[in-house]
Amino acid sequence: MAGLLLSPTEKIYILHGVQDDYRSDGRTNIDYRPMELETDVVSHASGSARLRLANTDILVGVKTEIDVPKPDNPGLGKIDFFVDCSANATPEFEGRGGEQLANNISNMLQRAYNSSQAFDLKQLCILEGKQCWKLYVDILILECGGNLCDAVSLAVKAALFNTRIPFVKAALMDGGSVDFQLSDDPYDCKLLEAGTAPLLVTLCKIGDKCVVDPSAEEESCSVISLIVGITGNPKYYSKDAIETPNFKCKCSTIGMNGPGSVAPETFKNAINQGIIAANSLDEALGRALLRERQECNNFKKNSYGFLK
C-alpha cells in the first residue's frame, strides 16, 4: 500500500526481524495470519464465499450460464474472473484508482486456472462441441489490508467448492437439434470438483529473504514481490482421502510486481517456499470446507417443520 507511511527506523525494525525469521507480529516467514471464512453468503448465486484475512475482506460470487465452447477446445467449459475494488476499501481506490490492480488480479487468476494442471474444465462440458457451462466469478474487494492475491484465491476456491450446477437433460428434436432442459429442483444439482484449483501465494522480498502473507507495513518495505500459483491437492477436499490419489503440487503461473530484481538462487528458494506454504494452506482450507459441508448436511437432515 503506497499510502502507508513508515519511518526509516520502523522499516529497519521490520527488515531485521525478517532476516532473523521473526516478524513484527510474532509470525515466522512462512506463517499466515488468522482467517475467517463463510460460504453460501449470497443467496442468488450458484456459489459464494466471504473471507477475512486481518483487515482484508473479500466477497466472491459464482454465476453459471450455458454457452458455446471454444472451437479449439470443444470438450472444455469456460471460466471468467471479474474483480471490483470498492472505493471504501482504501483511499487509493477512489475514482478509477483500483482498475489496474483489479485487472492484474483477474489476469493472474485467469492464467492460473487455464493451466491444464489446475482446475478441470472438462467437468463443465455438457455436449462436446455444442454446449458447455460458463462460470462467471465476481470478486469484490471490500477492504484492503495487504496480501490481496492470496485472499482472493482462497475465497475463489471456497466459492467454487460449494458451487452447484443444475443437472441438464437433453432431448433430440426434429431436424437433429438438441433441446436442453434444466431441472427446477434446487437440490437436483452436482457439485464442482475444485480440489485441484490453484492458490496464489505472494512472496514479498524484504532484504535477502521472502515472507508469505505480507502485512501492509511489510509490503511498504519491499521493492518487489513474487506471486506463485500452486495447484491444489484433491485429497484434502474428499471424504475418502485414503482412496483419493495424492497429487504433487505444481506451479501453474508466476508473476512479479515491483521495480526490483530477484537473484536466481532467491527465485528458486521463493518458489519452494511458496509450494510449502500453499500445501499447508490448501490442507487447512480443505478441512474447513469439508467440516462446514458436513455441518450443513447434518443441519438439513435433523431439521423439522411443516414446510418441506
Mean pLDDT of 212-241: 85
Count of structural domains, the chain = 1
Structural domain harbouring 236: 11-298
Q: What is the pLDDT of residue 82?
A: 94
What distance in Å separates the CA atoms of residue 118 and residue 166, rounded to the nearest whole number? 23
Does 305 reside within a domain?
no
Does 252 reside within a domain?
yes
Alpha helices in the chain (DSSP H): 8-19, 99-113, 148-161, 216-220, 264-302
Mean pLDDT of 8-29: 88
Does 232 reside within a domain?
yes
What distance in Å separates the CA atoms of residue 219 and residue 104, rounded to the nearest whole number? 17
Does 59 reside within a domain?
yes
Q: What is the pLDDT of residue 57?
A: 92
Least trusted range by pLDDT, from 1-10, 40-49, 71-80, 262-271: 1-10
Whichever domain contains 69, its CATH number is 3.30.230.70
Residue 255 phi, psi dihedral angles, 5° rounding:
-140, 160
Neighbours of 262 (CB within 10 A): 18
Q: What is the pLDDT of residue 302?
A: 45
Please indicate whether residue 239 or residue 52 has the higher confidence score (pLDDT). Answer: 52
Does residue 48 have a pLDDT over 90?
A: yes
Does 227 reside within a domain?
yes
Does 1 reside within a domain?
no
Least trusted range by pLDDT, from 30-34, 158-162, 244-248: 244-248
Q: What is the pLDDT of residue 307?
A: 44
Question: Would you place residue 59 in the very low, low, confident or very high pLDDT band (cuts 50, 70, 90)?
Answer: very high
Direct distance between the N- and C-terminal alpha carbons of the chain, in angstroms, rounded to an integer: 50
Residue 278 phi, psi dihedral angles, 5° rounding:
-65, -40
Report strand pairing: 178-182 vs 189-191.
unpaired
Does 3 reside within a domain?
no
Cell numbers found for residue 264: 536466481
Does 5 reside within a domain?
no
Spell out the residues 6+ positions from residue 97 whose beta carbon is closer than 8 angstroms to its own.
Answer: 85
**Per-residue pLDDT tens for 272-308?**
888 999 999 999 999 999 988 887 766 654 444 444 4
* Long-range contacts formed by 35-38: CB under 8 A, 24+ apart: 35/154, 37/154, 37/155, 37/158, 37/285, 37/288
Tracing cell 478441470 back to the chain, one arrives at 120
> At CA 37, angle to CA 31 and CA 38, rounded to 5?
175
**Per-residue pLDDT tens for 93-139?**
776 767 888 888 999 999 999 887 788 899 898 888 888 899 999 99
**Per-residue pLDDT tens for 157-206?**
999 999 998 888 765 655 666 677 777 766 778 888 888 999 999 999 88
Q: What is the pLDDT of residue 60?
A: 95
Q: What is the pLDDT of residue 81?
A: 95
How much is the pTM? 0.87
Q: What is the pLDDT of residue 102?
A: 87
- Tell how far CA 273 is from the center of its chain: 19
